[in-house]
Amino acid sequence: MDGNFTLVTAMLSVLLFLVMFFGIAFLINMLLRATWLMAIVYPIVVILIIDEVDFFDYFTAPTKAFLALGDKLMSLHFADILVLSSGLLGAIIAGIVIKMLRKNGYQMF
């Protein structure tokens, strides 16, 4: 992510990530009946989005991989953090909505 966002691009990206991960989390919660699964899995998705290290390097060369991940996390711009945080917010809102629907008697699958 290059951090070269305009205000309109940032607002659209935040809205897109919020809606996209709300929808994904809602469907996963509805099908698997695991209310907070996507909120727990989302940080792993973010790591896979931002890292430049091969996934298996976390197991074969963990020191190098986690140092590279830490450097990448520290180099994120505010706009990147805002967009990625909106995805987590969408996943959390989906968990809250599913919980409220189940409390009110709606049974999904």
Q: How does pLDDT run across 34-79, given as a tens digit for each residue?
A: 888 888 999 998 998 898 888 888 899 999 999 999 999 999 989 8
Query: Domain-by-domain residue ranges, the chain?
Result: 7-12+21-103
The pTM of this model reads 0.82
Instruction: Quote the percentage of the chain above a pLDDT of 70.
Output: 94
Residue 62: exposed, middle, or buried by beta-carbon count in 10 A (0-12, 13-18, 19+)? exposed
